[in-house]
Amino acid sequence: MKLTKKRHACVRLQKDGRTLVIDPGVFSEEDAAVGADVILVTHEHPDHFSEERLRTGLESNPAAELWTLASVAEQLSAAFPGRVHTVGHGDSFTVSGFDVQVHGELHAVIHPDIPRITNVGFLVDGSVFHPGDALTVPNHPVDTLLLPVQAPWNKISEVIDYVREVKPRRSVDVHDALLADLARPVYDLQIGSLGGAEHLRLAPDESTED
């Protein structure tokens, strides 16, 4: 399976001529979801969910389907009847040759005064896990952890401990659009040396094989 990093929290997974896209948000490329057979969205925050990018992706492929939580699904289901599916923690499904498990229920705490919203993570083919905006530990081994390295709701010690707890073979940075270039080598060094797993940072449109 080929994994291509898009900007911020968005990634594309490709195998056997099929494409799955996770979290095409406003920081992602305008065409991030174009050509997708399957689109997954972890939650409603705009850096993960752009209605414009989702509409572009779904219109580009009349057979494409969206799988997400209720807060996102309700905004698009009327426009794309039968193609928008609501999922939650514990669900699993197979679509376009991809096996997907859903893990997690709530967004990480940003501040106690800010209500928490729902958030789900997606484990694809029992291998690649995208947690969205949470440090969810799936009850399943993970080969490649898509690691939210910088956000208003985390700090580097929590990120490192998250890698240690999940115990993937490798972590690949996502959720990094707000991370200054000056800070990137510091994050690379600390996560790579302390996380206990191979650590990989990809530039937008750079790919790796899973």
What is the reported pLDDT for 58?
A: 97
Please give the CATH architecture assigned to the domain spanning 2-209.
4-Layer Sandwich (3.60)
> What confidence tens digit (pLDDT) does each residue in 128-157 have?
999 999 999 999 999 999 999 999 999 999
Q: Cα–Cα distance between 53 and 48 in angstroms, integer?
A: 10
The set of residues, in sequence order, having a beta carbon less than 8 Å from that of 43 and lying 6+ positions away, is 49, 69, 71, 72, 107, 117, 118, 119, 120, 132, 133
Closest CA to 161 of 190, 185, 202: 190
Strands 2-5 and 207-209 come out as antiparallel
Q: If you search the block for the tokens 């498990």, which residue do you land on?
A: 101
Q: What is the rounded radius of gyration, in angstroms, for the C-alpha atoms of the chain?
A: 16
In Å, how far are 90, 108, 147, 149, 151 from 158, measured between CA atoms?
Answer: 25, 11, 11, 9, 11
Interval 6-18 mean pLDDT: 98
Write down the mean pLDDT value for the chain: 97
What is the reported pLDDT for 85?
A: 98
Give the Cβ contact number of residue 69 at 10 Å.
Answer: 24
Q: If you search the block for the tokens 């992602």, which residue do you land on?
A: 28
Interval 22-30 mean pLDDT: 98
Strands lying side by side in the sheet with 38-41 = 84-86, 65-68, 38-41, 18-22, 11-15, 2-5, 207-209
Q: What is the pTM of this model?
A: 0.97
> What confidence tens digit (pLDDT) does each residue in 158-194 have?
999 999 999 999 999 999 999 999 999 999 999 999 9
pLDDT tier at 33 (50, 70, 90 boundaries)?
A: very high
pLDDT at 210 over 90: no
DSSP code of 1? -
- Residue 182 burial (CB < 10 Å; 0-12/13-18/19+)? exposed
CA count, 13 A, side-chain hemisphere, 132: 31
Q: Cα–Cα distance between 128 and 135 in angstroms, integer?
A: 15
User: How is the chain split into domains, by residue range?
Assistant: 2-209
Buried-state track 157-175, b at ≥16 Cβ within 10 A, e below 16: eebbebbeebebebbbbbb
What is the reported pLDDT for 148?
A: 98
> What confidence tens digit (pLDDT) does each residue in 80-131 have?
999 999 999 999 999 999 999 999 999 999 999 999 999 999 999 999 999 9
What is the reported pLDDT for 87?
A: 98
